[in-house]
């Protein structure tokens, strides 16, 4: 029997709880003692963890957020913070750590791994910007939330013959905006990976109007050079003739707290089980994510600091279909 810990870190994502449940139940079923850390790395440094049993994770598979709690822990970026985290694990005889989270969380995980800790990461972020995961836990549910909003906004846009600039999350990445834009039938998509020319966006809106469309939906990534409000300001300052009157809707954190859909529950469960199996087989220093439909493992060294490229076919598809 071994002892290991699980924590959730960074922005909460729908499906994190399903992963925690899978880790705890698999670990206990295999004869291990599993510790749940409260409040991410902050809790690890403070020694805020306790052993969990199967009943402690009952009824959470369908709940958004994370029952363990989460933080963005600045202390873990420091030598002192990393040493304190490792000391807590060693003092309590805990030999392995599973970290469910996105880029910042896996960077912390990598730092602990370089100090000799046996760590396994589980890819979880609504931003879907992690190398090593075609689709991270939380992304599809967050997209469903964004799509429901876009569909509703299109109804209002068409009723009033208006345009909407809809801003979605994603931090520095356009993955969420690109998929929300394609699946939401947007007339234009604005993402950080492509240079934004507000004149070109105005041209796309005007062209939609001239083609006789009843509405124009522009999906804007929050990390783009001009976010939704920035574009609106530009259009107003430059008295652009767009045809449509424009409104701005920023979805923000609404996208994060959704009830996880079947896909997120399933991948979270598969990744949680696999994380335990990796620790058992002494395979560590890796991130587990869904790749080509299977559980894939990527060295944390490759994940951290890298930028996940956008899928070129999706970019081409977006510009073809927005007409
Ligand atoms: O990483 C998830 C995310 O929701 C990003 O899309 C967003 O930029 C960021 O977190 C917001 O962080 P916070 O909840 O700390 O404001």
Among 169, 178, 250, 256, residue to substitute to test ligand 1 (most atoms within 8 Å of Cβ):
169
Summarize pLDDT for 257-298 with one digit per residue, the tens. 999 999 999 999 999 999 999 999 999 999 999 999 999 999
Whether residue 15 contacts residue 138, with contact meaning beta carbons closer than 8 Å, is answered with: yes
How far apart are alpha carbons 136 and 129 in whole angstroms?
Answer: 8
For residue 177, the CA-to-ligand 1 centroid distance in Å is 14
* Confidence (pLDDT) at 9: 98
**1 pLDDT exceeds 70?**
no
| Residue having the nearest C-alpha atom to atom 9 of ligand 1 | 171
Query: Quick one: pLDDT band at residue 13, thresholds 50, 70, 90?
Result: very high
Whether residue 58 contacts residue 302, with contact meaning beta carbons closer than 8 Å, is answered with: no
Choose the catalytic residue: 127, 129, 134, 264.
127
| Residue having the nearest C-alpha atom to atom 13 of ligand 1 | 11
Among the listed residues 78, 251, 66, 298, the one whose alpha carbon sits nearest the alpha carbon of residue 153 = 251
Q: What is the 3-state secondary structure (H, E, C) of 235-280?
A: HHHCCCCCCCEEEEEECHHHHCCCCCCHHHHHHHHHHHHHHHHHHH
Among the listed residues 193, 276, 199, 282, the one whose alpha carbon sits nearest the alpha carbon of residue 237 = 199
Summarize pLDDT for 205-263 with one digit per residue, the tens. 999 999 999 999 999 999 999 999 999 999 999 877 899 999 999 999 999 999 999 99
Among the listed residues 31, 43, 87, the one whose alpha carbon sits nearest the alpha carbon of residue 67 = 43
Among the listed residues 146, 95, 137, the one whose alpha carbon sits nearest the alpha carbon of residue 116 = 95
Whether residue 264 contacts residue 138, with contact meaning beta carbons closer than 8 Å, is answered with: yes
User: Helix, strand or coil for residue 216?
Assistant: strand
């Amino acid at each position: 029997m071994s002892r290991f810990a699980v924590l959730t870190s960074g922005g909460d994502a729908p499906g994190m709880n399903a992963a925690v449940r899978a880790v705890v139940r698999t670990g206990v079923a295999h004869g291990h003692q599993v510790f749940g850390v409260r409040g991410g790395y902050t809790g690890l440094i403070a020694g805020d963890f306790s052993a969990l049993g199967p009943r402690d994770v009952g009824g959470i598979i369908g709940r958004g957020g994370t029952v363990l709690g989460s933080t963005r822990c600045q202390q873990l970026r420091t030598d002192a913070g990393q040493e304190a985290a490792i000391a807590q694990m060693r003092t309590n005889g805990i030999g392995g750590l599973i970290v469910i989270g996105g880029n910042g969380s896996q960077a912390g995980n990598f730092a602990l791994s370089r100090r000799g800790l046996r760590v396994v990461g589980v890819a979880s972020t609504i931003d879907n910007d992690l190398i090593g995961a075609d689709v991270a836990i939380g992304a599809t549910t967050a997209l469903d939330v964004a799509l429901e909003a876009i569909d509703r906004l299109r109804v209002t846009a068409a009723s009033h013959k208006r345009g909407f600039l809809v801003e979605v999350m994603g931090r520095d990445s356009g993955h969420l905006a690109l998929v929300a834009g394609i699946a939401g039938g947007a007339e234009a998509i604005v993402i950080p990976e492509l240079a934004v020319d507000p004149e070109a966006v105005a041209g796309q809106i005007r062209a939609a109007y001239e083609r006789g469309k009843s509405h124009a939906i522009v999906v804007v990534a929050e990390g783009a050079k001009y976010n939704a409000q920035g574009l609106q300001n530009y259009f107003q300052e430059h008295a652009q003739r767009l045809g449509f009157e424009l409104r701005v809707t920023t979805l923000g954190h609404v996208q994060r707290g959704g009830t996880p859909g079947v896909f997120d529950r399933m991948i979270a469960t598969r990744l949680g089980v696999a994380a335990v199996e990796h620790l058992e087989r002494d395979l560590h220093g890796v991130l587990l994510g869904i790749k080509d439909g299977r559980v894939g493992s990527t060295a944390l060294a490759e994940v951290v600091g890298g930028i996940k490229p956008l899928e070129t076919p999706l970019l081409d598809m977006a510009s073809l279909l927005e007409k």
